[in-house]
Amino acid sequence: MGYPPDTTKTSMERYNSYLRRVNSTKLINTPTSKILIRSLLLTAVIILIFFTVNNPNLSSSSSSTGHHPRSLLSSLVTSDWEKSVRKSSTPQIPTGISVLVTGAAGFVGSHCALALKKRGDGVLGFDNFNSYYDPSLKRSRQNLLLRHEIFTVDADINDSDLLKKIFDLVPFTHVLHLAAQAGVRYAIKNPQSYIHSNIAGFVNLLEIAAKHADPPPAIVWASSSSVYGLNTANPFSELHRTDRPASLYAATKKAGEEIAHTYNHIYGLSLTGLRFFTVYGPWGRPDMAYFSFTKDILNGKTITVFEAPHGQKEIARDFTFIDDVVRGCLGALDTAEKSSGVPGGGKKKGPAQLRVYNLGNTSPVPVSKLVSILEGLLSKKAKKNVVSMPGNGDVPYTHANVSLAHNDFGYKPTTDLTMGLAKFVKWYVGYYDVKIKQVVDIER
């Protein structure tokens, strides 16, 4: 219940405010008050600068707090830019699809973009080139895409205005959504970045796909093996429980799967989540163990290898080679049905497809074996510091059952870890111009 207005007080306040205005005009004309006002202004400016410096998110165009970034729409869009967007997205064959690839300058994104383009599909890249790891590697991937006539828009998926503009220019049939904050253990250091990209960014994309895009595209997106969390049933099946994530990263990917359900249910968006299992290979991510181990072994630096508590199974991963994952992504895109939503959102013509698949290698390898394979390929012994696995989000073991992906789109991984790492090392020494005794010939 509200209080009745105090009319006496209100009119007194109006009068007082009138008096303050009258007095202030008199005051500012005296020399003492001029000095006073100037010093007050100066103090205000200093406080403002202090706040901005200590809260970079306030001035950032792409904050990590989940606030909407300032749109790059007006600074990016020119008629040449529009031409590049349209040209890149146009399929080269009559049966080709038109795909917006978010995270296109990332590891999996760049490989998928190239594979799609190679078979005649239209591909537009989208990436914010953040500095989670060396952005120059992302720029090199972007240049590689450009050499194959794939244009990459340099922006954040939280930029609604720009995304809308892109969907106005191109009637994408599909979105391959791979832009995300990756890394399991980094979530301890920078939790907000996971919310910004994996939750807010994903919702922003889905909002635009559901309510703005005409036609609403089918969306295939990157979930993660980490959603299995503390699950102990093996190998991991899509039917197992995923309600016990061990890291915030895993929790945001699991949240993504639930959010996908909602947009499928309300708006009829066709959505397919792919649970990737520790993907590795050429042009990979420097933050991942196989990559940083390679770098450190070559530089004679000690690597930290995690081990399980005594009496437990060795720490292992179902390492999955990039080419196998790319085939899985294309298979998922090719079997994705159209969204059933009506452009503008709010209605759907009927139920739409909602899928989740494991994309793993089906053959877990202990991390100690990963190190010994690398030692062989690099002809150099690793200096190892073996420590107990810290409780910072890691899980001890992953192992995929991929029969669902096999049945639905013929997914069948074909590269074992030794072969895949040989391909990675060959790329690594070429890219970073490293001399090693002998590069194992993998073109058998």
Ligand X SMILES: O=C(O)[C@H]1O[C@H](OP(=O)(O)OP(=O)(O)OC[C@H]2O[C@@H](n3ccc(=O)[nH]c3=O)[C@H](O)[C@@H]2O)[C@H](O)[C@@H](O)[C@H]1O
Residues interacting with ligand X, by CB under 6 A? Answer: 182-184, 224-226, 276-278, 288-289, 304-306, 315, 317, 367, 389, 394
Q: Which of 263, 8, 220, 1 is nearest to 116 (CA)?
A: 220
- For ligand X, the closer CB: 340 or 358: 358
Beta carbons of 242 and 192 less than 8 angstroms apart = no
- Taking CB atoms, the residue at the shortest distance from ligand X is 224
Beta carbons of 255 and 227 less than 8 angstroms apart = no
Q: How far apart are CA 362 and CA 223, in angstroms?
A: 17
Pairing of strands 365-366, 271-276: unpaired
Residue 274, classified by CB atoms within 10 Å of its CB into exposed (0-12), middle (13-18) or buried (19+), is: buried
Pairing of strands 383-388, 174-177: unpaired
* Three-state SS at 371: helix
Residue 178, classified by CB atoms within 10 Å of its CB into exposed (0-12), middle (13-18) or buried (19+), is: buried
Residue 132, classified by CB atoms within 10 Å of its CB into exposed (0-12), middle (13-18) or buried (19+), is: middle
As measured in angstroms, the least distance from the Cβ of 318 to ligand X is 8
- For ligand X, the closer CB: 82 or 287: 287
As measured in angstroms, the least distance from the Cβ of 215 to ligand X is 30
Q: Is 397 among the residues known to form the active site?
A: no
- For ligand X, the closer CB: 389 or 436: 389
Q: Which of 325, 333, 285 is nearest to 105 (CA)?
A: 285
As measured in angstroms, the least distance from the Cβ of 262 to ligand X is 22
- For ligand X, the closer CB: 116 or 288: 288
As measured in angstroms, the least distance from the Cβ of 184 to ligand X is 4
- For ligand X, the closer CB: 117 or 254: 254
As measured in angstroms, the least distance from the Cβ of 206 to ligand X is 21
Q: Which residue out of 133, 194, 228, 249 is catalytically annotated?
A: 249
- Which of the residues are catalytic? 249
